[in-house]
Chain A
C-alpha cells in the first residue's frame, strides 16, 4: 500500500512539468504542437509542377496555404500587372494554376500556419501581399528592418528562403532561421 503514496505525490509534478515543456514548445515553434492537434505545423509544400515552374521561375514559389482563396483569385486575374511585373500566362495554364492555388489556399488548408494566416485577415478584406497579413506582421515584428530590407543578402521580407532555410519545404520553424550575416534567430 505504501508504494502508492510517493506516486500520488509525484503524479501532479509530472503532469505540471509536461505541460510546461509543451507550453514552451508551443511558444517557441510559433504555433501549437498540442497533444490533440494535428502534427502539421506549418504550411503544405508546393506539389504542383506547373505552379513551381511558372511562378517559381521568377520568385520563391510561395505555398498556396499562405493566402486565402479570394486573394489568389484576384491575383490570377491581374497577371499583366503582377506587383509591377508582367506575368501573363496562356489561359489554360492560368486556370490550372488558379485552381491549384484555390484548392490549397489558407482558408481550406488544415495546417497551423495556414489557419493562422486565414484567421488574421478580415472576412471582407482581400490581401494580395503575404507580408501585409496581420499574421505575417505579428511573426516578424521583432525582426528589425535593418536585418532584412537593410541587409543586401536579404533585401525584402518577401524573400522567405533568404532566412528560412527550409521555406521551400513549407517549414518556417524559428529554429531554422539563419539571417545572412547574422546567423541564428531564436530567442
Chain B
C-alpha cells in the first residue's frame, strides 16, 4: 500500500502537465512557451519559490515564502501591512489561477519586490507548474 502511494506520488511529480486542467493556466503556459526556449518544470518552480535573494538597497533577503508562508495550503501574510494572503494552492483555494490578468499583475509586482526584477517566461511557467500541482 505504502509502495502504491509512493508510486502514485512519483507519477504525480513527473507528470505535472497532466494535472493542469485549468484553461487559464494552460493558455499562459502556451504563451510563456513561445517566449522562452527553456523547458519549465514544477521542480524548478519549487526551488525558485524558496530562493532568497538580496536586492540592492533592501536590508533583508526575500523569497516568495516571505509573504506566502511555508505551505501553499495555508494563509500567508503581507510583509508590511500584515493583511492575510489566501492560500496559493488551488486545491484549498479554488479561485486561484482563474484570471490571467491577475496572475500577470502579481508576477510583475511580486517578482520586482522579491527579486528586484521581472521574472522570465520560463520562471513564470515553472512557478505556475509548481503552484498548480504541488501539495506542499
Contact at A158–B81, with CB atoms within 8 Å? yes
Interface residues on A, range: 10 to 19
Chain A residues with CB under 8 A of B101: 90
Rounded to whole angstroms, the CA-CA distance of A155 and B105 in the bound complex is: 28
B residues contacting the other copy or chain, number (CB 8 A)? 12
Subset of 19 A-B contacts with CB under 8 Å = A58-B78, A58-B81, A58-B83, A59-B78, A60-B81, A60-B83, A80-B112, A84-B80, A85-B80, A85-B109, A86-B109, A86-B112, A86-B113, A87-B109, A88-B109, A88-B112, A89-B105, A90-B101, A159-B81
Which residue, of B83, B101, B108, B109, has the highest number of chain A Cβ atoms within 10 A? B109
| B82, CB-defined interface residue at 8 Å | yes
What residues on B are CB-neighbors of A87 within 8 Å? 109
**Cβ B81 vs Cβ A88 within 8 A:** no
Minimum CB–CB distance for A145 against chain B, Å: 17
Chain A residue at minimal CB-CB distance from B67: A58
Contact residues of B between 79 and 127, Cβ < 8 Å to A: 80-83, 101, 105, 108-110, 112-113
Kindly count the residue-residue contacts between A and B in the assembled complex, taking CB atoms under 8 Å apart: 32
Q: Is the interface of A mostly helix, strand, loop or mixed?
A: loop
Given the complex of chains A and B, what is the CA–CA distance between A83 and B78 in angstroms?
14
The answer to whether B78 touches A155, judged by C-beta atoms less than 8 angstroms apart, is no
Inter-subunit contact B83/A155 (CB<8 Å): no
Q: Which residues of B contact A58 (CB under 8 A)?
A: 78, 81, 83
The complex places the Cα of A60 from the Cα of B82 at a distance, in Å, of 10
Cβ-defined contact, A159 with B113, below 8 A: no
State A85–B80 Cα separation when bound (angstroms).
9
- List the B side residues contacting A88 at CB < 8 Å: 105, 108-109, 112
> Which residues from A are CB-within-8-Å of B83?
57-60
